[in-house]
Amino acid sequence: MGLRFRPGDTALGLPVSELLDARVDLDDLWGSRAGELLSRLEASTGVDEAQRILLAALPTDPDPAIGAIRALAATGETVRGMADELGLSERQLNRRSHAAFGYGPKTLHRVLRFQQALTLARQGLGFAEVAYRAGYADQPHLAREVRTLAGQSLGELTSGRKP
């Protein structure tokens, strides 16, 4: 079973920055709770029940600023502007961003813009149109960012081909 969370969703009970570039078994994070959760999920009678079990097991007290950080980063707001909007110092903003996302607010903006571009490309738009709508300077800028963030071209990502 696999899960996909939006950037910044609290799910593991520790700062994401501690897991950056690592593959970690849930047992290592949650100990016996992970095994108990897996047993309950395997015994569930359907997807709806499994979802209820899983959501009940996840932490429910995320930092209230995380949603606002995600929303502001998506707009391309400057770090200073984001900090002012949230009533935080730039240092506090960076600390919270690193804890929730594993990287700072500018990188978060790049990731969110990349995700938007990928969604647009999968809808069948031409790459020049994707670049324009996602806020890239031009198609080569889009191509460089996609290669940097994903290690593949946008064409490879949208066609399912391996690099």
Confidence (pLDDT) at 138: 97
Residue 1 is assigned to a structural domain of this protein: no
Residue with the larger pLDDT of the pair 65 and 61 = 65
Instruction: Provide mean pLDDT across the span 35-55.
Output: 88
Phi and psi for 49 in degrees, rounded to 5? Answer: -65, -40
Domain presence at residue 148 = yes
Q: Please report, for the domain that includes residue 122, its CATH number.
A: 1.10.10.60
Which residue is associated with the tokens 């996302």?
A: 101
Q: Is the pLDDT of residue 72 over 70?
A: yes
Q: Average the pLDDT over 25-51 and give the result.
A: 84
- The pLDDT mean for the chain works out to 85
Terminal C-alpha separation, the chain: 26
Is 99 in the same domain as 42? no
123 token code pair: 């809808």
Please indicate, yes or no, whether residues 70 and 105 belong to a single structural domain of this protein: yes
pLDDT at 107: 94
The total domain count for the chain is 2
Are residue 73 and residue 98 in the same domain, yes or no? yes
Give tens-digit pLDDT for 105-143.
Answer: 999 999 999 999 999 999 999 999 999 999 999 999 999
Do 77 and 147 lie in one domain? The reply is: yes
Grade residue 27 by pLDDT with cuts at 50, 70 and 90. confident
Domain annotation covers residue 10: no
Query: pLDDT (tens digit, 9 = 90+) per residue, 81-95?
Result: 999 999 999 999 999
- Please check whether residues 80 and 134 belong to one and the same domain: yes
Same domain, yes or no: 52 and 94: no
Cα angle 133, 136, 137; round to 5: 120
Q: Are residues 89 and 32 in the same domain?
A: no
Is 162 a residue whose pLDDT tops 60? no
Q: Which of 9-13, 21-25, 57-61 comes out lowest in average pLDDT?
A: 9-13
Domain boundary among 38, 57, 76: 57
Tell whether 45 and 93 lie within a shared domain.
Answer: no
Same-domain status, 133 and 86: yes
| Residue-number span of the structural domain to which 155 is assigned | 63-163
List the alpha helices (DSSP H) in the chain: 26-30, 32-43, 47-57, 65-75, 79-86, 90-101, 105-122, 127-134, 139-150, 154-159
Query: pTM for the full model?
Result: 0.69
